C-alpha cells in the first residue's frame, strides 16, 4: 500500500509541477503581450507623427522653406518607423498565438491533473476499504442487525453494494444480535 501511495504522490507531484509550469508560461506570455501591445502603440504613434512631418515637409517644399534633402531624411525615418511598426505587429501576433497555445496547454494540464487526482482518490478509497474491510464489515453487521430488529425487511442495498459487504444471516445475525443486546443492555 505504501508503494502505491508513493507512486500516486509522485505522479500527482509531476502533474502539479506541469500545471505550475504551464501557469508560469502563460503569465509570462500575458506580460509579453501587454509589453508588445504598448510597443506597437508607440510604433504607431511614431509612424503617424512622421507621416504628419512628411506632409508638413512637402508643404514647406512647396512654399520654398524646405529642401528635398529634408524630405529624404523624413522618408528614411518614416521607413524605419514603418518597419518597426510592422515588426511590432508581427511579434505581437506571434506572441498572442503563443499565449493561446499556452492557455490550451494549461487547460489540458489542469484537466489531466484533475483526472489523476480523481484516480488517486478512487485508489485511496479502495485501499482504505481493503485495509479496514473486517472492521467495516463488523460495524455494518451491527448497524444492519439493529435496524432489522426494529424495522424488519429494511435493506440498505446501495450501501452494501458500494462497500461490497455481505448481509449477516442465520447464526451470524443471531450472534451479532446477542452481542448488541449485551452491549446496549437490551
CB 91 within 8 A of CB 83: no
What are 68-112's pLDDT values in tens digits?
A: 999 999 999 999 999 999 999 999 999 999 999 999 999 999 999
Domains of the chain: 2-131 (1.10.287.1700)
158 to each of 135, 152, 161, 165, how far by Cα in Å?
Answer: 19, 17, 5, 10
Tell me the mean pLDDT in the region 41-64. Answer: 95
Q: pTM surpassing 0.85?
A: no
Phi, psi dihedrals of residue 66, rounded to the nearest 5°: -140, 160
Sequence-distant (≥ 6) Cβ neighbours of residue 66 within 8 angstroms = 57, 60
Burial of 158 (0-12, 13-18, 19+ CB in 10 A): exposed
How far apart CA 85 and CA 65 sit, in angstroms, is: 30
Quick check: 160 pLDDT over 60? Answer: no
Quick check: 4 pLDDT over 80? Answer: no
Burial of 141 (0-12, 13-18, 19+ CB in 10 A): buried
**Quick one: pLDDT band at residue 53, thresholds 50, 70, 90?**
very high
Amino acid at each position: 500500500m505504501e508503494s502505491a501511495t508513493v507512486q500516486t504522490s509522485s505522479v500527482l507531484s509531476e502533474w502539479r509541477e506541469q500545471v505550475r509550469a504551464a501557469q508560469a508560461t502563460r503569465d509570462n506570455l500575458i506580460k509579453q503581450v501587454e509589453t508588445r501591445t504598448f510597443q506597437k502603440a508607440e510604433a504607431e504613434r511614431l509612424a503617424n507623427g512622421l507621416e504628419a512631418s512628411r506632409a508638413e515637409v512637402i508643404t514647406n517644399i512647396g512654399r520654398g522653406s524646405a529642401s528635398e534633402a529634408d524630405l529624404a531624411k523624413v522618408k528614411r525615418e518614416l521607413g524605419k518607423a514603418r518597419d518597426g511598426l510592422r515588426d511590432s505587429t508581427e511579434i505581437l501576433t506571434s506572441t498572442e498565438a503563443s499565449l493561446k497555445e499556452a492557455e490550451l496547454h494549461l487547460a489540458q494540464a489542469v484537466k489531466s491533473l484533475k483526472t489523476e487526482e480523481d484516480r488517486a482518490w478512487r485508489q485511496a478509497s479502495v485501499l482504505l476499504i481493503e485495509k479496514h474491510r473486517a472492521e467495516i464489515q463488523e460495524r455494518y453487521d451491527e448497524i444492519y442487525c439493529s435496524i432489522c430488529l426494529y424495522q424488519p425487511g429494511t435493506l440498505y442495498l446501495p450501501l452494501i453494494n458500494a462497500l461490497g459487504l455481505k448481509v449477516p444471516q442465520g447464526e451470524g445475525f443471531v450472534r451479532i444480535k446477542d452481542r448488541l443486546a449485551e452491549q446496549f443492555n437490551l
